[in-house]
Structure 1
């Protein structure tokens, strides 16, 4: 599927973009070209040191903003597969700069769709977030809108064989701005601020996120929103795993934050199927046979009223398992 193909990653210098790059070059080194598209020249410069052209001739770096439609059309020419990972994702910053968040997360999604339809792109996978499910903050609302745009794009493509799909997951362990690197840094001060003692979050490794993107790229029929089956953790357990000796003052929930994150609501249950490793929320209108989809993936309809949130999960990380995961995925030198 990947031999001699051209893949473009928007936001390719971010945590997931870098993990995808490493995975693709390791597991699918026969790609013709891998384009890292982002607007941060310093991050591109640093990443280019990791992938020098004489060793990785298939890697290209393109400066560009997903807000720039003309630039995106030019960048997408000759591209087979697009992974859309660019986003403005920090909740408090989005709340304070709403116009900027909307331009990047919604306008950027529209531009990705437009550029894909104008060129020869065959498949697009857009990254979502648990905050897009029943959103209470602007970031989540913009990502929900983005999800809807990508799913609906399958209905406006005409006879173009392109497929658009979405992947949604929770906190990526060790990603930029996430709680575990934050706590590791705060441990030096002896204080780990706790927002709410009841707070829980989903947990997925960078590799888990990569695997899910590749699954969608390879398996999506068009319009599915994929959700992984992953464990939850309690914020107090994360704090205990990282700094058992630290003070843990309760500082209160930040604006736009939930106590428990959701990935599938009861309202979604009418369109949700269990695929084994993942759930798929299928679009209300689709151009393919649902019966064939069920047969192909051995899909099982979830019960009416089913919901999937981090507070009522059946699988949990413990303090010990978190320590092992932190050492494996975040900081190899981590010790308590």
Structure 2
């Protein structure tokens, strides 16, 4: 039996692409007693209510994670939290750094404090590949958030609340995906803009991301940073899969963008274990009773998980099949 059976779960930022996919999975499983969506946009909440036919298990809170008092009210009676709320656009962050700090860093600390105060049992925070060796402000704020959640297990040691983090790459079918934009351009016979034809990215489907998050929530003890073993894609292969034969032109890498992505840095290799289809990066200090998993295999010293040196790749044909299933 899943720990989620009969539980109350809150999702921050629950009206986004992943949030809606999580709602669909959790409601379909029949496990949850109550599912609370905490987000800022009333229109999106209305759309989600209609999408799920006003399911009686759904509750909606208008609120911002910058408001700790509102979080405390929303977390009353909540067993588990999935923290998905964040500002995420890389280029926008460079022009609005204080806003990203206020939401991604200070807002994350509010989620931590309110969860402890409210007696939440487990919190899983969503990270990004851009948080590993960050070169942009968005990635830097997410790295700080990751460390906040992991380290918060220290001062929550005398409480019931435990915190873990999941980190993965680009999500196919998410709201920020380039695929719909490329489709529209190809339909008009226009050339597809490519930032750099050498670029590679990690790639995960929306359903895979949902399952990875729920598995982490089910299996965590607190302090883990989970990274899935997922395939990489060449950006030119993705363009060919979306619009076969379409012309492509380079527009240059955007401010703060990497040519290749990283999910585990070399300096983290000494704390990284391979656990089947995922990696686990252990905390720097486990002073709350953290125990190293007995079934984990240590990776080689100096190991790094980069999208361009990955041992798993999606072909154009596999990508095309995935894109068609998204339609």
TM-score by length of structure 1 reads 0.94
Are 2:24 and 1:22 aligned?
yes
Unaligned 5+ runs, structure 1: 332-336
Please say if residues 200 and 259 of structure 2, whose CA atoms lie closer than 8 Å, have aligned partners that are also in contact: yes
How many residues are paired up?
323
Query: Residue deviations 1:26-70, cap 9 Å, x none?
Result: 11x1321000111011111111101233xx211111111111111
Shift of 1:4: 2.1
Residues 7-18 of structure 1: pairs in structure 2 closer than 5 A? 7-18=9-20
Shift of 1:243: 1.6
Query: Residue deviations 1:56-95, cap 9 Å, x none?
Result: 2111111111111110011111100000000100111111
The aligned counterpart of 1:52 is 53
The aligned counterpart of 2:318 is 321
The aligned counterpart of 1:218 is 218
The aligned counterpart of 1:334 is none
User: Which of structure 1's runs of 4+ aligned residues deviate more than 6 A?
Assistant: none
Q: Give distance in 1, aligned partners of 2:133 and 2:52.
A: 40
Residues 15-164 of structure 1: pairs in structure 2 closer than 5 A? 15-27=17-29, 29-53=30-54, 56-164=55-163
Q: Give distance in 1, aligned partners of 2:91 and 2:231.
A: 26
Query: Residue deviations 1:188-223, cap 9 Å, x none?
Result: 332210111110000000111111111111111111
RMSD: 1.1
Name whichever of 7-16 and 152-161 sits farther off: 152-161
Q: Give distance in 1, aligned partners of 2:7 and 2:192.
A: 46
TM-score by length of structure 2 reads 0.96
Please say if residues 119 and 160 of structure 2, whose CA atoms lie closer than 8 Å, have aligned partners that are also in contact: no
The aligned counterpart of 1:206 is 206
The aligned counterpart of 2:271 is 271
Please say if residues 294 and 300 of structure 1, whose CA atoms lie closer than 8 Å, have aligned partners that are also in contact: no
Q: Give distance in 2, aligned partners of 1:256 and 1:44.
A: 32
Q: Give distance in 2, aligned partners of 1:237 and 1:247.
A: 13
Are 2:310 and 1:309 aligned?
no
Shift of 1:241: 1.0
Please say if residues 72 and 118 of structure 2, whose CA atoms lie closer than 8 Å, have aligned partners that are also in contact: yes
Q: Give distance in 2, aligned partners of 1:4 and 1:163.
A: 19
Name whichever of 87-96 and 242-251 sits farther off: 242-251
Q: CA 1:243–1:289 in 2, change beyond 3 Å: closer, same or farther?
A: closer
The aligned counterpart of 2:8 is 6
Q: Give distance in 1, aligned partners of 2:256 and 2:165.
A: 23
Query: Residue deviations 1:245-297, cap 9 Å, x none?
Result: 3221111000000000000111000100001111000101113354xx332xx
Unaligned 5+ runs, structure 2: none
Q: CA 1:37–1:116 in 2, change beyond 3 Å: closer, same or farther?
A: same
Name whichever of 90-99 and 119-128 sits farther off: 90-99
Shift of 1:183: 1.7
The aligned counterpart of 2:185 is 186
Q: Give distance in 2, aligned partners of 1:139 and 1:178.
A: 17
